[in-house]
Amino acid sequence: MSNSLKKLKLLSSRLENKLKEKSKDSSIIIKKSKNINTIKEEILSKNKNEIDCDNIRKENISRVNILYERLRIFEKSPDFNKIFIYKAMNLSGIGLKDEDFGEVRDGKYIQIIAIKYEADKDGKKRAKNISLGYFGKGETLKNEIKNEIVEFVLRWRYEKAFQNVEHYKDLLARI
């Protein structure tokens, strides 16, 4: 997980650098001290990082799809691609904070909760919770299933972060 976090930070740093480049003079000036080989190496390095990021994302989305099937999320949300329309996803009954990560809370029922925003009758946006999976009482949950539930939510959030990064990359490209 820390390797993935490093990759996300790298991508964020690259976006910030891109913004700085755009804010400077739009003309490209190559210093005489740089030779063609150095420039080629820089371009290849940037492309390699993008490829690595793409591979990580593909692997993540593949695993989300597997967990989507195994946890039977398709029963509540039949179209896999539409699970990313939700604004957020959370768990009830299992801790995700550092101090209680992966711990089942006593006496609680386990659910995967998706959150989306809908307009109410007055036109105001309101959060709506949707259960994507109900897994019963925490004490009866097998450890393997619990781990898959936690993994599904974390990987969903990871993909959502990639989608947000793509959105900002598109915005920056428009500047």
pLDDT of 20: 67
Q: Does 23 or 56 have the greater pLDDT score? A: 56
pLDDT of 121: 85
Confidence (pTM) = 0.67
Written as six digits, the tokens of 141 are: 């949950």
**DSSP annotation of 85:** S
pLDDT of 28: 46
Q: Does 3 or 171 have the greater pLDDT score? A: 171
pLDDT of 30: 46
pLDDT of 56: 87
pLDDT in tens, 95-146: 888 888 988 988 899 999 999 988 888 888 888 999 999 998 988 889 899 9
pLDDT in tens, 9-47: 776 677 677 666 655 544 444 444 455 666 556 655 655
Query: Phi and psi at residue 26, in whole multiples of 5°?
Result: -70, -15
Single-letter amino acid, residue 141: L
pLDDT of 5: 63
pLDDT of residue 4 exceeding 90, the answer is no
Element (H, E) at 119: strand 109-119
pLDDT of 124: 87
pLDDT of 2: 60
Q: Which of 70, 68, 49, 72 is nearest to 60 (CA)?
A: 68
Tally Cβ neighbours within 10 Å of residue 137. 13
pLDDT of 25: 47
Distance in angstroms (rounded) separating the CA atoms of residues 111 and 114: 10
Tally Cβ neighbours within 10 Å of residue 141. 17
Written as six digits, the tokens of 148 are: 């898959």
Q: Does 151 or 7 have the greater pLDDT score? A: 151
Q: Does 2 or 72 have the greater pLDDT score? A: 72
